[in-house]
Amino acid sequence: MSVAEGPYFEDLRVGQVFSGAPSMTLTEGRAAAHQAITADRLRLPLDAELCRRVTGTAVPLAHPALVWDVAIGQSTLVTRHVVANLFYRGLAFHRAPLIGDTLRTRTEVVALRQNRPRPARPATGLVALRITTVDQHGHTVLDFWRCAMLPLRDPEASTGHRDELDDVGAAGAPEVPLSAAVQGWSLDVFRDAAAGTHLDGVHPGAVWETGGGDVVSSAPELARLTLNVAAVHHDAGAGGGGRRLVYGGHTIGLALSQATRVLPNLVTVTGWHGCDHTGPVREGDTLTSTVEVQRVEELPGGSGGLAHLRSTVRAASAAGAGAEPHDVLDWRYVAVLA
């Protein structure tokens, strides 16, 4: 009897392309389920009338985290046996998708490096992926790099893969401006409609601790919702320790929700400089975060601007009472403020 499974590290080669994941239409039902799990508090995906006045579209905006979660989920055809996700880099929105848009994703292997063997450790390798997501018209929505650790099927195999990964996705600015997704938006309308702090009240060096944490719940449900087939997010036995490893996008989504508590008028996210998973998150852990403003720049015309933010996230384990929280995420991203 054959076993349905994705590739192991030694099955991959540079230039290999995976594009067979199902396309997904962004519906109101999927958006509502995603919001319930990740605690979305962005105003435009929640408020259809304000969204219409700001963006000029009659159809509601899809939450950016729903979009990148679907793109990452579609890319897991390559990483079904993933041991860990190490980083994401250079994510940029070319346009902001709407509810009703259909997304499909192309994932290309761009670099491979087999890890050195360690005693009592399974043999593993690192795979760097270029992920490009388009809509139903073939227009690019997202473009970014991801690095994952995969096991070898044969622990004695020597693949010879020694690619350098430090430069993957670190070549500089993305192909589109980080403001591309919000071009034509009336950010002054947003500013007038939402009381409180906007761009002029946000300054480099400002740091906030988010009050209270968020428990990680419905972890396998989020993986299913976004077509993520990585076994460690569904099968408690696959990740070791008897507790499922939480999909990294779940941690990122909760980090964004916490950022909107300290910046409730954050309009949207248009890109990531990078995102490093610095530790594992398990079901039932409670996450807290620190949000730092690293840089602010005005958009042309003086209507709104970009805030370059950094969220560092810690997890308090549900497995051991009294255990010290540990670092799990270092996320550097670009938010739009009016």
Please give the mean pLDDT across all residues of the chain.
92
More confident residue, 185 or 300: 185
pLDDT for the residue 242? 64
Q: What is the mean pLDDT of residues 3-8?
A: 76
Q: Is 171 exposed, middle or buried (0-12, 13-18, 19+ CB in 10 A)?
A: exposed
Residue 38 has pLDDT above 90, yes or no: yes
Alpha helix stretches (DSSP H) within 206-330: 219-225, 236-239, 248-262
- CATH architecture of the domain 9-156+178-337 equals Roll (3.10)
Percent with pLDDT over 70 in the chain: 95
Nearest to 329 by CA among 262, 269, 272, 263: 272
Residue 327 has pLDDT above 80, yes or no: yes
Nearest to 256 by CA among 103, 70, 38, 13: 38
Residue 77 has pLDDT above 80, yes or no: yes
Q: What ranges do the domains of the chain cover?
A: 9-156+178-337
On whether the CB atoms of residues 104 and 33 are closer than 8 A, the answer is no
Give 118's Cβ-side CA count (13 Å radius).
7
Confidence band, pLDDT 50/70/90 cuts, at residue 2:
very low
Query: What are the Cα distances from residue 264, in Å, to 93, 202, 267, 289, 313?
Result: 21, 12, 9, 15, 19
pLDDT for the residue 237? 73
Residue 172 has pLDDT above 60, yes or no: no
Strands 17-18 and 140-151: unpaired
Least confident of 113-127, 213-227, 254-268: 113-127
Q: Is 294 helix (H, G, I), strand (E, B) or coil?
A: strand
The span from the CA of 40 to the CA of 32, in Å, is 9
Q: What tens digit of pLDDT does each residue of 206-252 get?
A: 999 988 899 999 999 999 999 999 998 988 777 656 678 899 999 99
Nearest to 24 by CA among 131, 133, 132: 133
Confidence band, pLDDT 50/70/90 cuts, at residue 169:
confident
- pTM metric for this prediction: 0.94
pLDDT for the residue 244? 81
The span from the CA of 304 to the CA of 151, in Å, is 46
The span from the CA of 223 to the CA of 305, in Å, is 33
Residue 1 has pLDDT above 80, yes or no: no
Can you say whether residue 72 is alpha, beta or left, with left for phi > 0 and alpha for psi between -120 and 50 degrees? alpha
The span from the CA of 132 to the CA of 234, in Å, is 25
Q: What is the mean pLDDT of residues 249-275?
A: 97
Residue 122 has pLDDT above 70, yes or no: yes
Query: What are the Cα distances from residue 173, in Å, to 187, 273, 275, 292?
Result: 24, 9, 16, 21
Percent with pLDDT over 90 in the chain: 81
Chain-centroid distance of CA 265 in Å reads 21
Residue 322 has pLDDT above 70, yes or no: no
